[in-house]
Amino acid sequence: MAKYKRVLLKLSGESLMGDKNFGIDPKMLVNYANQIKALADQDVEIAIVIGGGNIFRGLQAKDSGIDRVTGDYMGMLATVMNGMALQSALETVGLYTRLVSAVGMEKIAEPYIRRRAIRHLEKRRIVIFVAGTGSPYFTTDSAAALRANEINADVILKGTRVNGIYTADPEKDPTATMYDNISFAKVISLGLSVMDMTAFTICQENNLPIVVFNVNEPSNLQRIVKGEQVGTLVEA
């Protein structure tokens, strides 16, 4: 019996790179498609927000003379490319999907309409939200928090390269220890940067839990949905 019936999975663009320094590793697409299919086979309703950092980050723009707003829109387009790639991989394993964009591009994606997105989920279609919030200055973490609350998700599953939220960056500090459970207030007060503070604040205000976990461990998604202790649970 699944603990969570409707989830929003947040994947970073970098998670698609695999061992590459840039772009999309086909092996990672297959990996995520298989994990998501295993979740769908448990009758879980799945929405996905994907980043674009493997292609372009808005914050990089200032280094190349591009203004912040233009850079953020370029980053949104990068998320659309990743979403299309993930959509193709999911359909290859037999899942029905909808690509839903916060920026109008009717040739390749539906516009975001809340009621329609919820109906897709009820019909067990995988909904991939792309183009962030559609506005500059907001990250895809903020988009994940916003969409998860709008579609009445039970939880945000934030996939990372590490096992959860640590007292310090475990890739830099070997003495860092992991939290099994932590409050939004503590995450915000300590400035733990696994998601941006806007996203944490949105979830805190609406009492929406977040599970931060290692997405590269294939069984983790299913274990979380079954209610097992995996990663770090952030809640009020």
Q: How far apart are CA 34 and CA 174, in angstroms?
A: 32
pLDDT recorded at residue 58: 58
- Overall pTM surpassing 0.85 (yes/no): yes
Splitting the chain (236 residues) into consecutive groups of 10 residues, what average pLDDT does each group show? 92 88 90 95 96 79 80 93 97 97 96 98 98 94 97 96 86 88 90 85 94 92 93 92
Domains in the chain, please, with CATH? 6-235 (3.40.1160.10)
pLDDT recorded at residue 173: 85
pLDDT recorded at residue 168: 83
Q: How far apart are CA 87 and CA 78, in angstroms?
A: 14
Q: How far apart are CA 200 and CA 182, in angstroms?
A: 12
149: its two tokens: 């609350």
DSSP code at position 166 = B
Q: Are 151 and 206 in contact (CB under 8 A)?
A: no
Q: Are 51 and 24 in contact (CB under 8 A)?
A: no
Q: How far apart are CA 152 and CA 45, in angstroms?
A: 11
